[in-house]
Structure 1
Amino acid sequence: MSAAPRPIELREGGVQDLPSVSRIMQAAFDPAYGEAWTQPQCMGMMALSGVWLLVASIGGRDCGFAMARAMLDEAELLLLATSPAVRGHGVGGALLRAVIAESRNRGATKLHLEVRAGNGAIRLYHREGFQKVGERRGYYRGTSGEALDALTLARSLA
């Protein structure tokens, strides 16, 4: 008999969580595309009005995070990452649903995000109601010189 899965715990994060966020981001994001932000970049973003950070943990260990911002009636998911060891265990979905709920609480009626074409997270975004609204050709440049498109997705929060 296997043990029951441990619950995913979500909490509001702060600058004290940036070392953990950085570790998760480095493990989760493909280094070939330079998608991971530095701690100073994250700290600078968190200093802006309307930005919030959510941290997910299982059994007391941080395993995912989401950073988002809301301005007037729109919100944007800036970053979302889960540790590779917990992919497929609902952490990303829990974080995304929490960002959707908090965006609504902050008065947003639409939530936007950008994702690299081919990123496996696109399936999660579609499951949660996001639709493609735009594309930036050749936006991501890999270390090998390969260029991949950025997809812009959005969903209504009404």
Structure 2
Amino acid sequence: MPTAFGIRPATAADGAFLGDMVVEAANWSPGRSRPRYEVLTAPEHGRYVSGWMRPGDAGFVASDPQGEPIGAAWYRMFPRSDPGFGYIGTGVPELIIGVRPIWRAHGVGRALLRALSDNARTEGFARLSLSVERGNFAAVFYRTEGFAVVQSGFGRDTMVKRLR
């Protein structure tokens, strides 16, 4: 059973791993398994990693004791003209998080989300947003970390956390 992990800031070299975590996030439901190429070539998912690390991007990567990446949380800014799933307005970064299945429910996601929230607060952001599909067990986790639903869409909710 996994127990120990470390957290470090994401770098430009982490782009491929972040892509893996987009795939994990998109395939959250048991029995759902869209191939990596299908997820990442779809504009609605690829936007979260395309061109990583651009100005305004920030994130954290969790690694196991051997240094292998096991999860990541990061945020990006999107323009009103090309919003992400969880877009709520200009100047509010949208986050995405993914954790390898064997490491879920071991505190990895919580540690990543807290590190990312602290970073956003330090950078002067007042809020973070995200989008979660209805039925995703992560919605309860997000609520325990201070996120609240601010907008309901077709099959998904947009949640926001106030940082100050």
CA distance in structure 1 between the aligned counterparts of 2:156 and 2:46, rounded to whole angstroms:
24
- TM-superposition CA deviations, 1:53-98 (whole Å, max 9, x none): 3111121121000120369863321x20000010100000011111
Deviation of the 1:9 alpha carbon = 1.1
The corresponding residue for 2:69 is 62
Q: What is the match of residue 14 of structure 2?
A: 17
User: Retained in 1: the 8 A contact 2:131–2:158?
Assistant: yes
Tell me, in whole angstroms, the C-alpha distance in 1 between the residues paired with 2:159 and 2:3: 31
Q: Secondary structure at the match of 1:151?
A: strand
Residues 54 and 66, structure 1, Cα contact 8 Å, conserved in 2: yes
State the partner residue of 1:126: 143
Give identity over the alignment, percent. 30
Q: 2:156 aligns with which of 138, 150, 155?
A: 150
Q: What is the rounded CA distance, in whole Å, between the counterparts of 1:32 and 1:135 in structure 2?
A: 25
User: Greater CA radius of gyration, 1 or 2?
Assistant: 1
User: SS at the partner of 1:107?
Assistant: coil
TM-score, normalised via structure 1 length: 0.76
* Runs of 5+ unmatched residues, structure 2: 79-89
Match of 1:50 among 53, 56, 70: 56
SS at match of 2:116: helix
Instruction: Find the partner of 1:103 among 94, 109, 120.
Output: 120
Q: Normalised by the size of structure 2, how large is the TM-score?
A: 0.73
* C-alpha deviation, 1:151, in angstroms: 0.4
Runs of 4+ in 1 over 4 A off after TM superposition: 31-36, 38-41, 70-73
SS of alignment partner, residue 110 of structure 2: helix
AA aligned opposite 1:76: E
Q: Whose strand proportion is higher, 1 or 2?
A: 1
Q: Is the 8 A contact 1:115 1:122 kept in 2?
A: yes
CA distance in structure 1 between the aligned counterparts of 2:53 and 2:74, rounded to whole angstroms: 8
Query: 1:76 is matched with which residue: 68, 84, 94?
Result: 94
Q: Structure 1, residues 102-132: CA drift from partner, whole Å, max 9, x if none?
A: 1101101111111111111111101101110
Tell me how large the CA RMSD over aligned residues is. Answer: 2.9
Residue segments in structure 1 that go unaligned for 5+ positions in a row: 138-148
CA distance in 2, matches of 1:56, 1:21: 11
Q: Match of 2:51, SS?
A: helix
